Chain A
Amino acid sequence: MAPESAAIRVDGLSKRFGDFTAVDSVSFEVPRGEVFGLLGPNGAGKTTLVRMLTTLLAPSQGRAWVAGHEVRGAQRRVRESIGVIPQALTSDLDLTGWENIDIYGEFYGVRRRERHARARRLLEMVGLAQRAGDLVATYSGGMRRRLEIARGLIHSPEVLFLDEPTSGLDPQSRRAVWDLLAQLRAENEITISLTTHYMDEAEHLCDRIAIVDDGRIIALDTPDGLKSQIAGADRIDLDVEGDVDAVVAMIEARPGVHGVQRTNAASLTVAIDDGAREIPRLVDAVETLGAQVVAVSVHRLSLEDVFIHFTGRTLREERARKVGFFVGPGMPQAR
Chain B
Amino acid sequence: MRIWAVMRRDLLKLARNPLTLITVVLMPIVYLVIIGNSFAGQLRNLPVALVNGDSGVYGRRVVERLQALQAGPKTIVLTYFEDAERAVAATRNGLYKAAVVVPPDFSRDVTTGHEADIGLFLDNVDVVSARTLEGALDAAIASIRQEFVSARRPQLGVVMMRPVELFRTVDYDASLIPGVIVMALFMGSLTSGVFNWVMDRFLGVTEGYLVTPLARWEIAGGMLASGVAVTTIAATIVLFLGLLLTGTTFTGGVPALATIVAVMLLSATGLLAMTFLLLGRATHPRLVGVFAGFLNVVLFFPSGAIYPVESFPSWLGAFAAYNPETHAVYALKQILFKGANFAAVAGDLAFLAVFTGVMLVLASVTFKRTL
Contacts and interface: CB of A to CB of B under 8 A. Distances in A.
Interface in B11-26: 12-13, 16-17
A94 B2 contact: no
A293 B212 CA distance: 56
B17 A56 contact: no
B208 A86 contact: yes
A54 B16 contact: no
B223 to A, nearest CB: 13
A99 B204 contact: no
A55 B215 CA distance: 13
A155 to B, nearest CB: 8
Contacts of A57: 371
A76 B213 contact: yes
B207 A86 contact: yes
A88 B207 contact: yes
A124 to B, nearest CB: 22
B371 A56 contact: yes
A222 to B, nearest CB: 29
B16 A91 contact: no
A84 B213 CA distance: 12
A103 to B, nearest CB: 5
Most buried by A among B2, B212, B370: B212
Contacts of A106: 1-2, 4-5, 8
Chain A: number of interface residues, binned into ranges: 20 to 34
A168 to B, nearest CB: 14
A92 interface: yes
Contacts of A94: 12-13, 16-17
A90 interface: yes
A51 to B, nearest CB: 8
Contact of B213 (A86, A109, A135, A151): A109
Contacts of A107: 2, 5-6, 209, 212-214
Contacts of A99: 9, 12
Interface in B251-299: none
B209 A95 contact: no
Interface in A83-130: 84, 86, 88, 90-92, 94-95, 99, 103-104, 106-109
Nearest to A81: B213
B211 A92 contact: no
Central interface residue in B9, B12, B214, by most chain A CB within 10 Å: B9
B180 to A, nearest CB: 28
13 contacts: A56-B211, A84-B208, A86-B204, A86-B208, A99-B12, A104-B209, A106-B4, A107-B212, A107-B213, A108-B212, A109-B213, A135-B16, A148-B208
Interface of B: 1-2, 4-6, 8-9, 12-13, 16-17, 204-215, 370-371
Interface of A: 51, 54-57, 76, 79-80, 82, 84, 86, 88, 90-92, 94-95, 99, 103-104, 106-109, 135, 148, 151
